[in-house]
């Protein structure tokens, strides 16, 4: 099955603030199949759907906040249903104590069950701190996996941050395939651990992509939080290299 390649729009957040429709045009022209939101930019859902249709982009899903999960999950589901998107991910969370991660797991499980019952797939998106064995050798990522159910909570594995934390992304992906729905395919510069375009750094992006392909993932999402060249040139380099895989 062909994998759709999406772009997390956070990569182009400054450009989104300048001219959102132009961003959609550039993402489409670069060759992406769709996008993952981090915000809906106060745009009506029906208008957003029309914009995506205008540029032949599929709505993969969105990142959201812990506040929205607790206080306006119904609104998020209504918006996403109008778009026709399938995935919802908590974009970031942090706690310095184990109880905080246990409380998060309760929220994830409850939200994930509600999302699943309404046709969505719910995921947790990591950064690097979830892979630090801070809690008597236990990692926050393990706390989440051990205290939520596979049917309600999956992972959106950010491969850059796994490597940043000192683990092997391919190994972690293979060992946890049953709990992972998609990945953020991101690369790391060999000199200073900065993010760089996919296929230009030291992450085995081709190997990661092929694991996803063999596992029949529906989407792979590209993201680069920090871009050091022209942003539209950057996203084109990343997808061109990914297509070669």
Q: Dump pLDDT digits (tens) for 88-105.
A: 999 999 999 999 999 999
Euclidean distance between CA atoms 202 and 192, whole angstroms: 11
Tell me the percentage of the chain whose pLDDT exceeds 70.
100
Quote the tokens at residue 170: 């391919």
CA distances from 214 to 173, 197, 198, 207, 211 (A): 12, 23, 19, 11, 5
- Under DSSP, the state recorded for 226 is S
pLDDT confidence of 192, banded at 50, 70, 90? Answer: very high
What pLDDT shows up at residue 244?
A: 96
Report which of 76, 73, 46, 50 is spatially closest to residue 61, judged by C-alpha positions.
76
Confidence of residue 171 (pLDDT cuts 50, 70, 90): very high
Long-range residue pairs from 54-57, CB within 8 A, at least 24 positions apart, any chain = 54/24, 55/24, 55/25, 55/27, 55/28, 56/28, 57/24, 57/27, 57/28, 57/32, 57/33
What is the rounded distance in angstroms from the CA atom of residue 67 to the CA atom of residue 133?
Answer: 26
Q: Is the pLDDT of residue 177 over 80?
A: yes
Range 39-58 average pLDDT: 98
Q: Is the model's pLDDT at 106 over the cut of 90?
A: yes
When pLDDT is averaged across residues 191-206 and rounded to a whole number, the result is: 97
- Per-residue model confidence (pLDDT) at position 161: 98
Strands 187-188 and 195-196: antiparallel
Average pLDDT over residues 173-191: 97
Confidence (pLDDT) at 1: 72
Does the pLDDT at position 25 exceed 90? yes
> What's the rounded Cα separation, in Å, for the pair 190 and 112?
37
Work out the average pLDDT over 136-163. 98
Contact 73, 111 (CB under 8 A): yes
**Average pLDDT score over the chain:** 97
Distances (CA, A) of 77 to 1, 50, 120, 242: 27, 18, 8, 31
Q: Is residue 88 within 8 Å of 123, Cβ to Cβ?
A: yes
Q: Is the pTM of this model over 0.75?
A: yes
d(CA 32, CA 212): 17
In terms of CATH architecture, what is 4-244? Alpha-Beta Barrel (3.20)
């Amino acid at each position: 099955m062909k994998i759709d390649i999406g772009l997390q729009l956070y990569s182009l957040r400054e450009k989104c603030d300048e001219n959102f429709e132009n961003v959609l045009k550039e993402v489409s022209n670069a060759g992406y199949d769709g996008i993952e939101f981090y915000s809906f930019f106060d745009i009506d859902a029906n208008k957003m759907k029309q914009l995506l249709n205008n540029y032949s982009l599929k709505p993969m899903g969105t990142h959201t906040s812990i506040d929205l999960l607790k206080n306006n999950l119904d609104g998020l589901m209504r918006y996403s249903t109008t778009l026709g998107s399938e995935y919802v991910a908590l974009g970031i969370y942090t706690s310095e104590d184990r109880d905080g991660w246990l409380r998060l797991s309760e929220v994830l499980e409850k939200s994930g069950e509600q999302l699943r019952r309404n046709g969505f797939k719910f995921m947790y998106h990591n950064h690097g701190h979830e892979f630090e064995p801070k809690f008597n050798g236990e990692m926050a990522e393990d706390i989440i996996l051990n205290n939520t159910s596979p049917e309600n909570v999956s992972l959106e594995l950010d491969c850059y941050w796994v490597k940043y934390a000192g683990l092997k992304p391919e190994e972690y992906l293979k060992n946890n395939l049953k709990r992972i729905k998609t990945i953020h395919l991101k690369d790391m510069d060999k000199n200073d651990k900065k993010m760089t375009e996919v296929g230009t750094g030291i992450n085995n992006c081709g190997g990661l992509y092929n694991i996803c392909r063999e596992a029949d993932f529906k989407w792979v999402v590209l993201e680069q939080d920090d871009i050091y060249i022209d942003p539209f040139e950057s996203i084109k380099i990343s997808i061109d290299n990914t297509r070669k895989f």
